[in-house]
Structure 1
């Protein structure tokens, strides 16, 4: 893994896999990574922007906020998630890395 743990290459193999989204110390929601997408032009330092789309159950609807997500192989990470819409499977949330 690179020095920067948040890269598109880290998340692409995880598409379709499950995460646990923690609302607090005792309440968690099952969440799935449904998309990892490259963004626009690379930054002057060579960093490639990208976004991640997660799908969670239809309720509760979460406001934009920083949430702790855990993945069985990748461990825990805190991501700023923004709700982006409803799909038949639930609510979708996006994390953007610029």
Structure 2
């Protein structure tokens, strides 16, 4: 799937659904898609920028930002740059921004 063609609408049906974040061949995390946010458009790009936020059940540890494979049975595999946002009462949040 070409991530350059994805829009916020492509993720609407998957809000509150579980994805897998593949950190490495040995490490995979279940992650719930918990936030979808339309961002201000400051460029002439056709696609409106947006962000998506996943939450894992990690309580005390997290992974540094980087490119990870996001796996979903219906969407397939997406290689996304994720940045850790911090912990909330459930776990660790990671954000991907599409600009």
Structures share fold, TM-score greater than 0.5: yes
2:4 and 2:66 mapped to 1: Cα distance? 22
Pairwise mapping of residues 12-91 of structure 1 onto structure 2 (< 5 A)? 12-41=12-41, 43-59=43-59, 60-91=61-92
Deviation, 1:3, is: 8.8
Number of positions where the alignment pairs a residue of Structure 1 with one of Structure 2: 98
CA distance in 2, matches of 1:68, 1:23: 7
Report the aligned-residue RMSD.
2.1
Is there any run of 5+ residues in structure 2 with no aligned partner, and where? none
What is the CA–CA distance in structure 1 between the aligned matches of 2:45 and 2:68, rounded to whole Å? 27
Q: CA 1:31/1:3 → structure 2, altered by over 3 Å: closer, same or farther?
A: closer
- 3-state DSSP of counterpart to 2:11: helix
CA contact (8 A) 1:42 1:48 kept: no
